Amino acid sequence: MKMALRRAVAGVTGAAMACIAFAAAAAGPVIVDTAAVEAALARGAIIWDVRSEEEYRKGHIPGAVNVDDVLSQLREPKSEDYIPVPQIERILGEAGIDPAKEIVVYGNKAAVSAYFSLVTVQWLGGERAAVYHGGVDDWKAAGKAIATEVTKLPAVTLALNPRADRLVSTSELLAKLRGGQVQIVDARTPKEFNGDDIRALRGGHIPGAVNIPYESNWVDPDTPRKLARKQVSNKDGFDLKAREALEALYAGLDREKETVVYCQSGVRASNTAAVMQALGFKNVRVYDSSWLGYGNTLDAPAESVSFFNVARVNSLLNALQGRVEDLEAQLGELKAAAQKK
């Protein structure tokens, strides 16, 4: 594996660096490429497609298993925290997904849900988990076979023991803030960080946090907008930056110090956490509740604080409702006129 990695690195430069396997400091690859996925399949590794069941049935990597959209299956809909571990054991066990085995997770290219799944497997004790950053898009681009039949693995009975060193709770984070022994990375947008985009009872950020939006890991962070406007015809902008560029992005942080990464609900943070692991940061943890939990904890210290303006939102909703009613009335008039003809 190490020799294969050296060959891969030697032959890849620039944006294509996104596809190589980034090696973690003391484990196997954390972020892998198409060739590594093929090798994992040959070894009998579990390939977990974390997209919706509908997307999965339209086409997936042969042999991949699926439990429907992982973000809706493993999280509480209101808090967006993990569902109870016994429920996770049942869902994964029925699908034959055993965190103790080698697992490669993937979704669409650069999907944060795949990174969330990687962190989930690590939290559940998995030590041989990796994420396929290029996902089904790179798999297709490489001309690999696509399957539509559903793969079913034998069910397993799981007794999981989540690792306390992978996630951070709100109370634990507050204690760490008082101790000053942790560095914090905010993976949200600058507007969220500055309190201009409020997604909880209040906006702002955790004191001392460094804002490095997770999209900064991509070759072109503006790719979603360009795709929407049809300014680009492919997803190459989603490739991870070259390793040297990623190291420069996180150069201001101490690789030896405990690092807590957060976003709105822990999903985008998972991408940053995985990249930092791959770059050799020793102790990276995800604050699962993230700003949704922290921003709603009103006695938790925060910076750039702003508050949710309920009256303004209600005003905007009322105005929107009025426009909808006007459009419905106009549509009714057009239908009535058409019927008279």
Tell me, yes or no, whether 244 lies in a domain: no
Q: Are residues 104 and 26 in the same domain?
A: yes
Q: Are residues 55 and 128 in the same domain?
A: yes
Q: Are residues 126 and 173 in the same domain?
A: no
Strand partners, 129: 103
**Tally of CB atoms within 10 A around 2:** 9
Mean pLDDT of the region 277-299: 96
Tell me, yes or no, whether 271 lies in a domain: yes
Tell me, yes or no, whether 280 lies in a domain: yes
The whole domain housing 194 covers: 167-212+250-307
Which carries the bigger pLDDT value, residue 93 or residue 1? 93
**CB 192, CB 85: distance < 8 Å:** no
Burial class (CB in 10 A: 0-12, 13-18, 19+), 148: exposed
Q: Are residues 79 and 21 in the same domain?
A: yes
Q: Are residues 57 and 186 in the same domain?
A: no
Q: Are residues 301 and 201 in the same domain?
A: yes
Domain holding 194: CATH number?
3.40.250.10
Q: Are residues 126 and 174 in the same domain?
A: no
Task: Give the model confidence (pLDDT) of 222-237 as tens digits.
Answer: 999 999 999 999 999 9
Q: State yes or no: pLDDT of 319 exceeds 70.
A: yes
**Nearest CA to 244 among 284, 279, 282, 281?**
279
Last residue of a domain, one of 141, 158, 191: 141
Tell me, yes or no, whether 328 lies in a domain: no
Task: Give the model confidence (pLDDT) of 236-271 as tens digits.
Answer: 999 999 999 999 999 999 999 999 999 999 999 999
Tell me, yes or no, whether 161 lies in a domain: no
**Nearest CA to 247 among 211, 205, 275?**
275
Tell me, yes or no, whether 135 lies in a domain: yes
pTM attached to this predicted model: 0.85
**Nearest CA to 214 among 240, 247, 248?**
240
Q: Are residues 89 and 205 in the same domain?
A: no
Tell me, yes or no, whether 32 lies in a domain: yes
Tell me, yes or no, whether 338 lies in a domain: no
Q: Are residues 187 and 278 in the same domain?
A: yes
Q: Are residues 116 and 205 in the same domain?
A: no
Which carries the bigger pLDDT value, residue 304 or residue 20? 304
**CB 95, CB 154: distance < 8 Å:** no
Number of structural domains the chain divides into: 2
**Strand boundaries in 87-221, DSSP class E:** 103-106, 129-132, 167-168, 183-186, 202-205, 210-211
Q: Are residues 83 and 192 in the same domain?
A: no
Q: Are residues 65 and 183 in the same domain?
A: no
Q: State yes or no: pLDDT of 10 exceeds 50.
A: no
